Amino acid sequence: MANEKIFKMTFSSVYPHYVNKVERKGRSKAELDEVICWLTGYSDAELVSQIEKEVDFTTFFADAPQINANALLIKGVICGVRVEEIEDPLMQKIRWLDKLVDELAKGKAMEKILR
């Protein structure tokens, strides 16, 4: 039930929170967009389009041109759960994104974030 609620949230409603989080820690919106595009395969224009269309997370990841093959290298804990152990593929992609945003906000080097 909780997963369904997250899956139906619009990406555009969460995106400003990602921006605020990274900017509070001295990182830029451009760096955030680079991380999102790395994970999903969206171009900058496609990312803006998805935000403008107010798609939900299900559609955001379903429409993603290509999930980066190195996404499987994203490891660690987010919301108390190891991302590599999440069984639901969509939830895992959402948590991968959350983990990348956290790494960016914590000041990790882009080369390490973009495995």
Task: Note the pLDDT tens digit of each residue in 78-93.
Answer: 988 999 999 999 999 9
- Interval 5-46: pLDDT, tens: 999 999 999 999 999 999 999 999 999 999 999 999 999 999
CATH 1.20.1050.140 fits 2-113, yes or no: no
Judge contact between 76 and 99, C-beta under 8 A: yes
d(CA 110, CA 90): 24
Contact (Cβ atoms closer than 8 angstroms) between residue 62 and residue 7: no
CB atoms closer than 10 angstroms to residue 75: 12
Looking at residue 22, what is its pLDDT? 97
pLDDT tens for 35-72 read: 999 999 999 999 999 999 999 999 999 999 999 999 99
Residue 86 makes CB contacts below 8 A (sequence gap 6+) with 92, 95
Neighbours of 54 (CB within 10 A): 11
